[in-house]
Copies of this chain bind each other. A is one copy, B any other.
Amino acid sequence: MQRKLPQSNLYLREEELRRGVELLYFAYRDFTSDPDEILAQSRFGRAHHRVLYFVGRNPGTTVSGLLSLLRITKQSLSRVLGQLVEEGYIQQDAGLEDRRQRLLHLTDKGKAFEKELFASQRDRVAEAYKRAGPEAVAGFWEVLLNIVDGDERDTVLRQIEK
């Protein structure tokens, strides 16, 4: 746990906080540029990537499951998901117990594309982990998890522990 800082260290504290804000901005900017380059060659964008990614990680999830995980509207998802289904990246099956539901799965084509997109980020993150070392990586996870909304941490933990 962090020791209480004396008041006189408020200036230093602000610098540390701005450092976090800025590193998050720059890291996220570069981290998303890898898949963006691949996506630019197709008619897909970042939103399609997110859907492919989370359907891949949660096979059999439903439309509303995706909606609450991604926190976008049904109309936004509908366009993106519709294109992915139409072009054969995602397969929809009627729910077994509740036939109103659409259970979502990646097709082989979808799996291959997701793998390619993930690989571009995997290499960057793996290299960063290697350079920073395992203890830094643990701190990286810890701080990021605490930046997530308090009432969403359980959802995120369930997701990353799959």
Contacts and interface: CB of A to CB of B under 8 A. Distances in A.
A104 B122 CA distance: 38
As for how many copies of this chain the complex holds, the number is: 2
- Tell me if A's interface is mostly helix, strand, loop or mixed: helix
Nearest to A3: B134
Contacts of A91: none
B141 A138 contact: no
A57 interface: yes
Interface residues of A, number: 59
A4 to B, nearest CB: 10
Interface of A: 1-3, 13-14, 16-31, 33, 50, 53, 57, 71, 118, 121-122, 124-149, 152, 156, 159-160
